[in-house]
A and B are shown apart, each in its own frame.
Chain A
Amino acid sequence: AQKVTQAQTEISVVEKEDVTLDCVYETRDTTYYLFWYKQPPSGELVFLIRRNSFDEQNEISGRYSWNFQKSTSSFNFTITASQVVDSAVYFCALSELTQGGSEKLVFGKGTKLTVNP
């Protein structure tokens, strides 16, 4: 069965520091998608990125970057020059194709990031 592990439960940094959130996944599927979501205190899950299993190119979006390494089954997320507004819980997720033909997300436990001024 699919599994997503986020070993870091909580991380606290000072503003402007860089921070990396780790994500390790397990799957037997050859085709799958990986995701990162941000959950601010309001509770809504905000989509950050989707990565296809066949695309191992790293991606950068502003201060955010993602490092996908199939060889180590990892999909790590780095925030450069962190800001207080980055404080949230971040979830890594893996898509799982179900018997019904639909896809469901398998989430990690999340990493709570606190950025202090």
Chain B
Amino acid sequence: KAGVTQTPRYLIKTRGQQVTLSCSPISGHRSVSWYQQTPGQGLQFLFEYFSETQRNKGNFPGRFSGRQFSNSRSEMNVSTLELGDSALYLCASSLELAGYNEQFFGPGTRLTVL
């Protein structure tokens, strides 16, 4: 069974640009969560999508947005990039059964903003 895939793996952008990251969950998984990892702030929750609806959002500015498609694939977008957006962006998918749902993480997209 294929794991969570994220594309691209590495990305370099300049301030003011926008970027779109993609995440393909494990087949059958309907929930996709996004996390940002930086040396200073650690791992922080961005948002979570289920059945094409955002169910929860972390404490990030409106420049960070996302969406989920009918096949559960998800994208996140960051507009007007700032230097502080340089981070590893991790996507996780879960099956969404009753009770707790284990999150499986992808390899991440490393974004560098110059």
Contacts and interface: CB of A to CB of B under 8 A. Distances in A.
A52 B42 CA distance: 24
Query: Helix, strand, loop or mixed for chain B's interface?
Result: strand
A102 B50 contact: yes
Contacts of B7: none
Interface residues of B, number: 25
A44 B100 contact: no
Interface in B20-53: 31, 33, 35, 42-45, 48, 50
A103 B100 contact: yes
Nearest to B50: A102
B104 A91 contact: no
A107 B43 contact: yes
Nearest to A97: B100
Q: Give the contact-size bracket for chain A.
A: 20 to 34
B90 A45 contact: yes
A90 to B, nearest CB: 12
Nearest to B46: A104
Nearest to A37: B105
Given A98-B56, A101-B55, A102-B31, A45 B48 contact: no
A104 B58 contact: yes
Nearest to A107: B43
Given A91-B43, A105-B45, A45 B105 contact: yes
A72 interface: no
B107 A104 contact: no
B40 to A, nearest CB: 10
Contacts of A106: 45
Contacts of A95: 100
